[in-house]
Structure 1
């Protein structure tokens, strides 16, 4: 398994245009929420959580747990942030899934379509295909890339930023 810096550097090599990176801050959260929403049905069971009520066992929860474990294996700090994001998306998706079919499906498909449209606009500006076209792990790296870029903008994880820049020739 590649390291965090290797994964981010590979993903960053497809994302050098600032406009493309900005589209990822909008499009990727929409796509994550859409997937959480669409996979929030069916409910396969309930797990009692005491005073918090039951936790719906859904395909969305399974995907969030597996992705969260992957991110935690890559890096504890980023993994915790990603786990919180995935939990929030899972919860929001579940709330949408509890609504009528038209609202649930319309929200999920609408977020998915608009999120991907924004992504493809960014890649048109970049003049480069999305990273997942060459390596499907790019689908999992997109959300982590957004979190890492947000951290870099806040001055966090300078060690990771420097390593990514070294691996991409000074560009992230």
Structure 2
């Protein structure tokens, strides 16, 4: 398995244009959130501590484990961001006038339009066309910038 630095370097090769990077700062977290929202909408037929379990919780545990294998520090930031996404999904499901899955679908479509527009500006294909794992590297790539800014090593 490639190291985190190898993944981030390869991902960064197709993300050099300032406009494309800016678009990614908006669209990558939006896509991550929308996928969590889709999976959160799929309820499983059992409860834990009085709460209905959904597919997002199971997927999230697996994704955090993947990030933990890549970096013994970066996974904490991804855990925090993912937990916020789960909480927002819960709040939307409880209090929003549009079903979570429909809200997630709108965000997903708009964010992918933005992503492809950014890559058109960049003149390079999205990294996930080469390897599907880049769909998980995109959020880590952004988190790595936050870590560097805070002086936290990966």
Please confirm whether the aligned pair reaches a TM-score higher than 0.5, indicating the same fold. yes
Whole-Å Cα distance in 2 between the matches of residues 112 and 26 of structure 1? 12
Whole-Å Cα distance in 2 between the matches of residues 23 and 47 of structure 1? 38
> Structure 2 unaligned runs (5+)?
none
| Residue aligning to 1:93 | 89
Whole-Å Cα distance in 2 between the matches of residues 106 and 64 of structure 1? 20
How well do the aligned residues superpose, as a CA RMSD in angstroms?
A: 2.0
Pick the structure with greater CA Rg. Answer: 1
> Structure 1 unaligned runs (5+)?
49-53, 161-172
Alignment pair present for 1:75 and 2:71: yes
Contact 2:78 2:140 in 1 (8 A): yes
Contact 2:42 2:55 in 1 (8 A): yes
Q: Deviations over 1:25-78 (max 9, x none)?
A: 100111111111111123212211xxxxx4442111111111101101111211
| Residue aligning to 1:47 | 48
Relative to the length of structure 2, the TM-score reads 0.89
| Residue aligning to 1:138 | 134
Contact 1:40 1:60 in 2 (8 A): yes
Relative to the length of structure 1, the TM-score reads 0.80
How many residues align? The count is 153
Deviation at 1:99, TM superposition (A): 5.8
